[in-house]
Chains A and B, each alone.
Chain A
Amino acid sequence: MNAPLLFVDNLKTWLDAGKTQVRAVDGVSFAIARDETFALLGESGCGKSMTALSIMRLLPEAGRIVAGSVELDGQDLLALPEIAMRTVRGKRIAMIFQEPMTSLNPVLTVGRQISETLYRHTALRGEAAQARVLELLDAVGIPDAKARCHDYPFQFSGGMKQRVMIAIALACEPDLLIADEPTTALDVTIQAQVLELLRTLQRDHGMAVLLITHDLGVVSEMAHRVAVMYAGEIVETAERGEFFANPRHPYTRKLFASLPGAVRRGQPLEMMRGNVPPLDSDFVGCRFAGRCDFAWQRCSEEAPAWTEVAPGHAVRCHLAAQPADVGPVMEESLDGTASVGTAPVGTASAVHVRLHPQGVSPPRAAAELLARARKPYPQHPLLLDKAGGLLEVSDLKIHFPIRKGLLKRVAGHVYAVDGVSLAIRPGRTLALVGESGCGKTTVGKGILQLIRPTAGSVRFAGEELTGLKSSALRARRADFQIVFQDPYSSLDPRMRIADILEEGMISLGTASSPAARQAGVDSLLRQVGLSPDSKYRYPHEFSGGQRQRVAIARALAVRPKLLVCDEPTSALDVSVQAQILNLLKGLQDDLGLAYLFITHNLAVVEYFAHEVAVMYLGRIVEHGSVEEVMHAPRHPYTRALLSAVPVIETGSKREVIRLSGDLPSPSNPPQGCHFHPRCPHVMPVCRLDYPAATGFSATHGVRCYLYEGSPGER
C-alpha cells in the first residue's frame, strides 16, 4: 500500500441538541489509499454519514468538529479557510448522496448541472465544457448523451439520476469520491448497474472511494477494506477477504448472524438485545457491552483499546486482546453462511464454549438456539392448486384511470396489476417479489379491498370479496389484515398504543367489553414481545423495531387468518429485521397465520417464504416453491434479479446478468412480453404476444417463450 490519500485521525464531531451534546462521531481514525475502496459499514445512527460530512466540512448548523484532523494528501482540511475548502469540494473530494431524486436541481438541465462544476473548478468553457459534459455522460452510461444533456432531471429514472450524480461528482476527476449509500434508494437490478459503474470508474480513474453503506452484500462486492462503525466509533477494520472470513468483533459477528438467507431457514435468526445506546451519554466501558453476549465485568468498566489481531485487521474489543484464539470457530460459522446447504447449528454453542473458558456468563443463547431450531420445512406442493386455499386470487386487475383536461376525461390507464393469480394456504407464506413499481403493493391492497379491483376475483375462504358491499365486507375484515412498510407512518402519532390496538377490536366487535379489550391489549403486547406497561405510551416513544411490533400487534388484534406484510422489514436495520422476522415466524408457528409477504429482499424470501411469485410490470412471470424459484429459476427476469443481489461470497465470482434499462411505465407496457426490451434472450416472437404459462412441476410455472412446448428443459 502506498502513502494514504486521506488520513482521518481521532475525528470527533458533536451535535448540539439543546442542553446535551450528541457525540455523533467520537474518535474515528482511518486512512484511505489511492485507488482503494474503503467501506464504512454500520447501522443507521452510528455516525457514518456524519463522518463523511465532517470530511467535506458540510456539517449541519448544530454540528461542529471538536477534535481530530482530516488530512488529504498531507494537507489539513480542518485548518483550511472556507474559501479554500470550496476548491477542495468538487475538485479533490466529490460526494454522491443516497437520494438521487432530491440531489439534483429540478429546474436546471442535467447538462447545466454538470457544467456548473466544470465552470467552477476548471478552465473549460463553451464548446470544450460541452464536450466534457458529453464525455462524462457517456462514461456513466447514459445512452444518447447528446440529446439527453438538455433534459431535466424529471425526465430521468432513479438509476439514471444517480448516474448523472456520479457524472457530476466525476466532472473534475476528484482524488476521493465519497459515496453515501449510493444505491440504497435503488432496485437490485439498477443497484447492480450502478455498482458496476462505480467499480469500473474507480479502476479506470484510480480514485479512492469512501463507500458508506449498511449493506454487507454491497461491501463484499465493492470494498477493498472495511471498517465497521458502532455508536460513533470504529469497532473493527480489516481487508475485505479477512473481514468476511474472520470477523472478530462480537457486533460484526452478530451482524453476519442476523442476515436472513437460505442457510438459516427453519432456525431463528440471531438477535441483538436492546438498542444502540444514546450518544449523548458519557461512555465508560465498551459501547457494545450492553448488547454483547460475551460481555463480562471488564467490558462495562474499561473502554477496549485497538488491538491488531492480524496484519491490517484491528478490533476494539477486550476479547481480541485475550490470548484465547477464536479464529477457527468463526471460520466455521462463516463457511455456513457462504456455502449453501450446511446447517451451522452447532457453531453458536462452540463459540460460547471457546470464548468463555472460565464460564463467566452462561451460554444461554446456545441452548435456546438448539431448542428452538426447527427441522427444514417439508415439501408442500401445489401452489396454484385452488382446492383448500385460504386465499385464491384469479386474474386480478387493478387499473388506475389517467384523467386529463378540464372535464377530467379518461386518457389512459395505469395497468398497475394486470391479471395476477395466486393462492395461499393456511399457515403458509407466499412471497411476492419484484422491483419497485411492479405493482406488488397494489396487489396486497387489492386483496384487502383497500383498493377496489377493476376485474378478477379474490376469494377468501371460499367467499368472493370483490363484489361485497362495504357492510358485508366489514364483517369479513377481521380475517385479513395488513402490516405496512414504514412503522413511522403506519401508527397514528396522536394515539396511545392501547387506543391503536383497540381500534380494530372496537370496529370489528371482536372484544365486547372494555375489560376484555384491555386484557386483549396486554396479551397482544406480550405476544409481540413488548411489555404491557407500554400501552399507555405514544408511538414516538418507541424505536422503529418496536413500532413495527406494535403494528403487528394491531393487525393481530382482530385474530386474522391472513396477514399481508408489505415490506415489513425494509425500513429497518439488519439486526432489527432479524427480530421482526423471528417474531413473524414464531407467530406463524403458534397461530397458523398465512402470510402474503411482499418484498424486494430476496434473502428474506429465501429465509422466510414457502412459495414465491415473481412479479414484473403488473404480472406474475414465475411462481413456484422457494427451492424451485430460488435455486432453479427459469424466467430470464428471475435469473437476472437473483444474480443482481449482492451476496457475501468469499469464493468464486458468480456470473452476474446485467439488465439494461429500467422498468417500463405501467401506463404503457411494451407490446408482447413485458420483459422483452430488457431480456438477454429476446426472440422475435416475444415482441408479438404475451407468453402463456408453462409448467415445470405441479408448483413451478413460468411465462416465457423460451420454455414454450418444452417443459423441463434448459
Chain B
Amino acid sequence: MLFKPVLLWTDGLLWLLLALVGLYAWRVRRREHLLQPWRRLLRSRSGVASAMILLAFVAVGVLDSLHFRLPLDKQAGAAERHYSPEVLSVFDLLVGPLRKQAEKTYSAPFATRLYAKETIELPDGRQLRDYPRLKYGGAHLSDPATQQAGDIAAIALQGGVWALVAGWGAALALVLWLARRRRVSPGAAWRLIRQGGDEIPWRTFLGTVAMLILFACLAAAFSAKYHIFGTDKVGQDVFYLTLKSIRTGLMIGTLTTLVMLPFALLLGIMAGYFRGWVDDVIQYVYTTLNSIPGVLLIAAAVLILQVYMDSNQDLFDTVAARADIRLLFLCIILGITSWTGLCRLLRGETLKLGEMEFVQAATAFGVGHFRIIARHILPNVMHIVLISIVLDFSGLVLAEAVLSYVGVGVDPTMQSWGNMINGARLEMAREPMVWWSLAAAFVFMFVLVLSANLFSDRVRDAFDPRMK
C-alpha cells in the first residue's frame, strides 16, 4: 500500500461532528422555518464575511485531520512493509517544503541569516564570528543585501498575479452560478453582485474571498523562498506551526462542545421537564460542579492522565497518538466543566415550554414523555443550543491558549497557539527580542476568535425570536 491511514481519536470525533452538521443541514434544507434564520444570517455583511473566514480556518483544520503514515523504504529481505513512525496529514503534504525546511535556530521573518552569531569557518581556515546564512530562507540569493528588495518585489508581483487570476476565476464562477440560480443573464448577475441588489451581500462575499485568495497566494509564493514568520528556537518555520495550530484550536473549540452537549441537553431538559426531585438533584450537581474552580479540576485530570500515559508507554504506537489522547482528554475535561451554563439555560427554557399549551395538548393526547421531549421540547430549544455553541467556541479557543501556557494544556509536542506563546514567553525578555512566534500566534488566534465572535453575534441576532 502507498500509505497507512491513521484515524486518531480526535479525527474520528471531528468526522462524527461534521456528519452531524451535514445531517442538520440536510434537515434544515427542507424546512422553511428552520431555513429562515440562516437566510437572515446570510443577509448580513459581517455574517457573510466572518463565515467565509471561519470556513477557511475549518478547511485547514479538516485537511490537517486526514492522517496517514508513509511507508519506509523497503529493506532487503524484510517480509512486510514498515511504515514511518511519523504521522502526517494531507495538509502536511500540501504545504510540503514548509515542514522540512528547518533552520538551526531563530531567524527573523524574511531573514536570510540566522538571528544569532556563530563562529563560521571560512574555506581558508580562518574563523569568523558572524550571522550565518540560512539553509533555506533566501538561499537562492547570492548577495542578499543588494538583491533581497528586488526579489521580494518580484515574488510579491508573482503572488499578486496568481491571486488576480484566481480571484477573477472565483468571480466568474460566482457570476455563472448566480446567473443559473436566479435565471438571469451573466451580465445581469454581475450587475446584481456589483450593485448589491440581491438579498445576499455578494460584494462582501466576493471581497472576503478575494482577500483570502490574495493572502493564500502571497503566502504560497513567499514561503517557498523565505520564512515569512521567521523560525523558532529549533529552527522550525513559524508559519507552518501557526497553520498546524489551527487544527488544535478548532478541535478544542468544537469537540468540547460535542462532549458537553449530551450532558447539557439531557440534564437540562430533564430538570426542566420532570421538575420535582429530578430537578433538585440536577441542580445540586451543577451548582456543586460550578463551585469547584475549573482550572484546578483540569490540572488534576491532565496530570493524572500524564502519569497514566507515562506508565503505559506501549499503549501508544506513535507520538501523535499520545498527543492526541491528551488533546481528547483535555476536550473531555473542558466539556465536563463547561456544560453547566448551557444546562441552566435549557432548564429555564424547558420550564417555560413545559407550561406552553401545545405541550399540554400533547399530554392530553396521551403522548409519552420521551416523545414530547423529542418532538416538542428539543426542536424548540435548538436555537439556544446553537447560539451558545457558537458563543462558547471562541472562549474555548482562548482557554486552550491559557491552559497550554500554564502547562496543563495540550501535549508539548503538539503544535498549538498556547504552546507557541509558552515557548515565546522567555524570548520576549531577551535582547534583541524574539517577537515573531508570539505575534504570529496572536494574529491567527485573533482573526479566528474575532470572526467567531462576529459570526456568533449574527447567529444570535438571526435566531433570536424577538428580532424580526
Contact = CB atoms under 8 A, between A and B. Distances in A.
Contacts of B104: none
B313 to A, nearest CB: 51
Contacts of A480: 364
Name, among B360, B363, B368, B468, the residue most crowded by chain A CB atoms within 10 Å (CB to CB).
Answer: B360
Name, among B358, B360, B363, B468, the residue most crowded by chain A CB atoms within 10 Å (CB to CB).
Answer: B358
Name, among B34, B364, B367, B376, the residue most crowded by chain A CB atoms within 10 Å (CB to CB).
Answer: B364
Nearest to B367: A507
B234 interface: no
A481 interface: yes
Interface in A455-507: 470, 473-474, 477, 480-482, 484-486, 489-495, 503-504, 507
A526 interface: no
A450 B367 CA distance: 12
Nearest to A475: B366
B126 to A, nearest CB: 79
Given A493-B33, A540-B33, A482 B375 contact: no
Contacts of A555: 361
Nearest to A448: B364
A294 interface: no
A450 B364 contact: yes
B33 A477 contact: no
A263 interface: no
Contacts of A474: 366
A473 B366 contact: yes
B360 to A, nearest CB: 6
Contacts of B379: 492, 494-495
B365 A489 contact: no
B365 A504 contact: yes
A619 B365 CA distance: 28
A477 B366 contact: yes
B76 interface: no
A679 B312 CA distance: 85
Given A489-B356, A491-B358, A492-B358, A482 B364 contact: yes
Nearest to B280: A408
A254 B367 CA distance: 42
B314 interface: no
Contacts of B287: none
B361 A554 contact: yes
A458 to B, nearest CB: 14
Contacts of B361: 482, 484, 490, 551, 554-555
B33 A482 contact: no
Interface string A491-535: 111110000000110011000000000000000000000000000
A490 B365 CA distance: 13
Given A489-B356, A492-B380, A450 B375 contact: no
A492 B364 contact: no
A6 B380 CA distance: 48
B358 A508 contact: no
Contacts of A450: 360, 363-364
Contacts of A572: none
Contacts of A538: 32-33
A558 interface: yes
A508 B360 contact: no
B140 interface: no
Nearest to B363: A450
Nearest to A62: B468
Contacts of A491: 358
Contacts of B364: 448, 450, 477, 480-482
Contact of B360 (A470, A482, A507): A482
Interface string B373-392: 00110011000000000000
Nearest to B465: A493
Name the interface size band of chain B.
20 to 34
Contacts of B360: 445, 450, 482, 484
B143 interface: no
Name the interface size band of chain A.
20 to 34
A489 B357 contact: yes
Contacts of A490: 356-358, 361
A504 B376 CA distance: 13
Nearest to A540: B33
Nearest to B378: A494
Interface string A43-73: 0000000000000000000000000000000
A445 B376 CA distance: 20
B198 to A, nearest CB: 13
Contact of B380 (A473, A494, A504): A494
Contacts of B380: 492-494
Contacts of A492: 358, 375-376, 379-380
B341 to A, nearest CB: 24
B362 interface: yes
Contacts of B32: 538
Contacts of B468: 17
A504 B366 CA distance: 8
Contacts of A17: 468
Interface in B2-40: 32-34
Nearest to A408: B280
A503 B362 contact: yes
Contact of B365 (A445, A477, A551): A477
Contacts of A503: 362, 365, 367, 375
A474 B368 CA distance: 10
A325 to B, nearest CB: 47
A424 B360 CA distance: 23
Interface in A133-162: none
Contacts of B368: 507
Contacts of B180: none
B371 interface: yes
B35 to A, nearest CB: 11
A558 B376 CA distance: 19
A223 B328 CA distance: 73
Name, among A480, A486, A504, the residue most crowded by chain B CB atoms within 10 Å (CB to CB).
Answer: A504
Interface in A417-471: 445, 448, 450, 470
Given A490-B357, A490-B361, A507 B375 contact: no
B372 to A, nearest CB: 10
B365 A507 contact: yes
A489 B376 CA distance: 12
A477 B360 CA distance: 13
Contacts of A470: 366
A470 B361 CA distance: 16
Nearest to A18: B468
Nearest to A487: B357
A507 B33 contact: no
Contacts of A504: 365, 367
A508 B380 CA distance: 24
A507 B358 contact: no
A701 B184 CA distance: 76
B468 to A, nearest CB: 8
Contacts of A554: 361
A50 B366 CA distance: 44
Contacts of A494: 33-34, 379-380
Name, among B33, B363, B371, the residue most crowded by chain A CB atoms within 10 Å (CB to CB).
Answer: B33
Interface string B331-364: 0000000000000000000000000111011111
Contacts of B357: 484-486, 489-490
A45 to B, nearest CB: 15
Contacts of A482: 360-361, 364
B24 to A, nearest CB: 14
15 contacts: A477-B365, A482-B364, A484-B357, A486-B357, A489-B357, A490-B357, A490-B361, A492-B376, A492-B379, A494-B34, A507-B365, A507-B366, A507-B367, A507-B368, A508-B366
- Which 6 pairs, one residue from A and one from B, show the smallest C-beta to C-beta distance? A474-B366, A490-B357, A504-B365, A484-B357, A494-B379, A477-B366
Given A490-B358, A492-B379, A503-B365, 5 more contacts: A477-B365, A482-B360, A492-B380, A493-B380, A558-B365
Interface of B: 32-34, 356-358, 360-368, 371, 375-376, 379-380, 468
